[in-house]
Amino acid sequence: MTRWLAEYAWLPEQAEPTPDVLIETAEGRISAVTPLAPSGRPDAGVDVLADAVRLPGLTLPGLANAHSHAFHRALRGRTHGGRGDFWSWREQMYAVTTRLDPDSYLALARAVYAEMALAGITCVGEFHYLHHGPGGTPYDDPNAMSAALVEAAAHAGIRLTLLDTCYLTASVDGQPLAGPQRRFGDGDALRWADRVAAFTPDGAHARLGAAIHSVRAVPAEQLATVAGWADRRDAPLHVHLSEQPAENDACRAVHGRTPTGLLADHGVLGRSTTAVHATHPTSADLNLLGESRTGVCLCPTTERDLADGIGPARRMADAGVPLSLGSDSHAVIDPFEEARAVELDERLRTRRRGHFTPAELLTAASAAGHAALGWTDAGRIAAGDRADLVTVRLDSVRTAGVTPAGVWFAASAPDVTQVVVDGRVLVRDGQHLTVDVPQELATSIAEVTR
């Protein structure tokens, strides 16, 4: 058993952090959580603090990155000059895919996931569609790229939900995959399902989910095949949704329905489904998402980087949509920035302040994200949950003088000092204990961009 004494800890259902909390962990789980009496001792009067590990600052539950494309990290700082939009950026992204193989992807993803750990992320959802070799030829092991991602997460020390993505066509009207896109496709949804079913992630840190890339990439008549695969396995299902107006326009032109309406028609929406972005929904779309309790993963730093727009986050939440967060293209890996952007972008959109409380932002960054990835026993500092603890400095140049609840509007990833995943210390004093993150990022990115 390990005892942790948090200067402040953010406990479930609390509007603000609680001072002086004793957290006991054993076998990767939280066994007890005890707010201390003013005397500094547990209410029972037994001195169990002598061997407690002090956690100065604010301790949060593990944070979840519900939407990641690991290889996009190679584009950071390389695609920002000049004009353009999502579609022109996409061509630059495709160029990176031509240089990746299982070995180089393992090296890159390991470094990216370790960067996430430094930021307080203890679990990631990898929206994975880079399946095959150049030209679309399968590797000898058709799931070699999936295995590389699972191994990368194990090396980095965080949990992974591999969202194996069905990607079959280049456009809503069914144009075939071409060029780099050929690496993404399995031919049809049944062959996608056969390939995914043959893969079992190696290690308790990883589990398998499914994804529909978008209504552009999976024909309408095959949507139900992917959704059914996930439903039979009680696995999470994710889908890019209404990221750009052009996607909505094309879907209406071909199907006479918005993308959300099309997904509803084919049984894709539901409590186990997370729509990523949902930046441009109609009012009817919001009703469909809310009534089905479909979640939405917001990725504000990517949405602003690609000039996609600002989604109606508060209206989604008010409609009953659970909100989670993702770093998507990794223009930034900073869950504090993603969380506060939900509130700050809403201020820009409405020209009013005060849409989300700090506790709501914490839920989106932690418990809701873990639930969207199928880890319902994580994201809270509560007895029985996984022993994931993220400690944030309250004395840095960004956080000095800030109230503990104010970290969501002041802190950044470098303020994370310690990260515990499943009871094991992964980050101490702001350093990853097993990965030289800057060096490995530099080396692995140079390998795929030279």
User: Is residue 328 flagged as an active site residue?
Assistant: yes
Calculate the dihedral angle through the C-alpha atoms of 364, 345, 259, 126, rounding to the nearest 10 degrees: -50
- Within 13 Å, how many C-alpha atoms sit on residue 321's CB side? 31
Euclidean distance between CA atoms 120 and 116, whole angstroms: 7
The whole-angstrom distance between residue 61's C-alpha and the CA centroid of its chain comes to: 15
- DSSP one-letter code for 341: H
Residues 290, 323: contact at Cβ < 8 Å?
no
Question: Which residue in the list 67, 72, 266, 277 is annotated as catalytic?
Answer: 277
User: Is residue 188 flagged as an active site residue?
Assistant: no
Question: Which residue in the list 164, 285, 308, 328 is annotated as catalytic?
Answer: 328
C-alpha distances in angstroms, 134 versus 74, 102, 103, 166, 408? 19, 12, 14, 17, 43
User: E strand or H helix at 263, and its extent?
Assistant: helix 259-265
Picking from 76, 120, 126, 66, the residue whose alpha carbon sits closest to that of residue 96 is 76
C-alpha distances in angstroms, 153 versus 114, 223, 239, 366? 8, 29, 22, 18
Query: Is 45 exposed, middle or buried, given 0-12, 13-18 or 19+ CB atoms closer than 10 A?
Result: exposed
- DSSP one-letter code for 426: E
User: Active-site positions?
Assistant: 277, 328
